[in-house]
């Protein structure tokens, strides 16, 4: 087996657990169990016996429970299956997560996965401990993407990297957010005459912007999470989110309508409620569309689900709010 350090970053090869105790198809159950007892210290964290040919190519697997319940004279070729999942050493480590989720979804469980090179030569396994390690690494990296804390595809480790490196990774997204905030200020200035007519509209700017951003972020997180572990249909997810957004928007806009009606009257209540409904639906659409566009551009969709999308949602929220206010006043 090749040393792990020669593999590209985030590939399966970095996580291979050596597995030297393999057998050939002519070995009997009795011989296999005898060898396992003698070399139990070489047995890794798995419940599968792997069968290779004379060239060390993986050709079959036998579940350990099936092995111990079979007659001692049985040959492995009579017990083995060729229908099992295999990973190659240069595959991205995220493929482990997809496989683990797939197995869990069909209630098959997943103790270990065999790994081969590009020519099918058996190299070892990815056991349960490595699967959890990969899940943790991928989760942390996604969180850093969401925050915009990623520098040239290199993960910036919180509290471990230098201060300058951390600042360099964070500042570009924050500056982008600052310019977005400045642009939002100019947009409000444009609608100053609307605020002059009804000053109470200013009280609802924070809640309109916050709720739209919160709903949009929920949608982004769900879309990016599932697109990272399995291939999903954009049309199907878009239609699903659109229907969900109608219900969510109706509930939120009705709630804010009752509050605004009690304190500020019918006109303000109508403006706030319609703005809330329209803004929530548009935020859900943006939260689905932008990560999908990034994915189509072969960029990590998590990058587009951070500050960039939030800025667009905030600006659109203000534009919708004051446009509706101008139309109704």
Could you give the 3-state DSSP secondary structure of residue 122? strand
Q: What is the pLDDT along the chain (329 residues), one digit of tens a residue?
A: 444 457 777 788 788 888 777 888 888 888 888 888 877 766 766 778 888 888 888 888 888 888 888 888 888 888 888 888 888 888 877 777 777 666 543 345 556 788 888 888 888 888 777 777 777 666 666 655 555 545 444 445 555 667 777 677 667 767 777 777 788 777 777 777 777 777 777 788 888 888 888 887 777 777 776 666 566 777 887 888 888 889 988 999 999 899 888 888 888 889 889 988 998 888 888 877 877 776 666 665 555 456 667 778 888 888 888 888 888 87
Give the chain's end-to-end CA distance (angstroms, integer): 74
Q: How far apart are CA 275 and CA 260, in angstroms?
A: 12
Predicted confidence at residue 105, as pLDDT, reads: 36
Token pair of 295, please? Answer: 């994915």
For residue 113, the cross-strand partners are: 126
Q: Angle at CA 100, nearest 5°, toward 98 and 106?
A: 105
Q: How far apart are CA 87 and CA 323, in angstroms?
A: 54
Predicted confidence at residue 4, as pLDDT, reads: 45
Q: How far apart are CA 61 and CA 150, in angstroms?
A: 41
Phi, psi for 24 (deg, rounded to 5)? -110, 170
Residue extents of the structural domains in the chain: 4-139, 150-328
| Closest to 253 in 3D by CA, of 288, 212, 298 | 212
Q: Angle at CA 40, nearest 5°, toward 34 and 41?
A: 150
* 150-328 CATH pick, 3.30.450.70, 1.10.150.300, 1.10.357.20, 2.130.10.10: 1.10.357.20
Architecture of domain 4-139: Roll (3.10)
Do the beta carbons of residue 111 and residue 46 sit within 8 Å? Answer: yes
Q: How far apart are CA 204 and CA 275, in angstroms?
A: 10
């Amino acid at each position: 087996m090749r040393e792990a350090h020669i593999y590209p970053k985030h590939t399966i090869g970095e996580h291979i657990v050596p597995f030297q105790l393999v057998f050939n198809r002519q070995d009997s159950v009795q011989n296999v169990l005898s060898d396992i007892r003698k070399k139990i210290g070489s047995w890794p964290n798995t419940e599968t016996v792997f069968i290779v040919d004379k060239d060390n190519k993986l050709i079959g697997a036998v579940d350990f429970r099936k092995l111990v319940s079979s007659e001692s004279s049985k040959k492995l070729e009579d017990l083995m299956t060729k229908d099992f999942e295999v990973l190659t050493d240069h595959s991205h480590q995220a493929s482990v997560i997809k496989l683990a989720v797939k197995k869990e979804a069909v209630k098959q469980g997943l103790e270990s996965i065999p790994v081969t090179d590009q020519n099918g030569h058996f190299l070892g396994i990815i056991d349960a401990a490595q699967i959890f390690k990969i899940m943790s690494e991928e989760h942390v990296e996604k969180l850093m993407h969401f925050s915009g804390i990623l520098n040239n595809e290199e993960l910036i480790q919180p509290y471990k990297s230098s201060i300058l490196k951390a600042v360099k990774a964070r500042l570009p997204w924050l500056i982008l957010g600052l310019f977005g905030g400045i642009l939002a200020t100019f947009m409000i200035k444009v609608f100053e005459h609307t605020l002059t007519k009804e000053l109470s509209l200013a009280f609802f700017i924070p809640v309109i912007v916050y709720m739209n951003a919160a709903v949009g972020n929920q949608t982004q997180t769900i879309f990016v999470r599932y697109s990272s572990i399995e291939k999903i249909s954009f049309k199907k997810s878009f239609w699903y989110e659109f229907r969900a957004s109608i219900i969510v928007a109706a509930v939120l806009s009705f709630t804010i309508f009752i509050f605004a009606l009690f304190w500020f009257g019918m006109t303000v209540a109508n403006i706030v409620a319609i703005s809330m409904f329209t803004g929530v639906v548009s935020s859900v659409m943006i939260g689905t569309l932008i990560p999908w566009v990034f994915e189509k551009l072969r960029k990590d969709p998590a990058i587009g689900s951070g500050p960039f999308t939030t800025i667009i949602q905030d600006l659109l929220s203000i534009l919708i709010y004051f446009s509706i206010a101008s139309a109704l006043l």
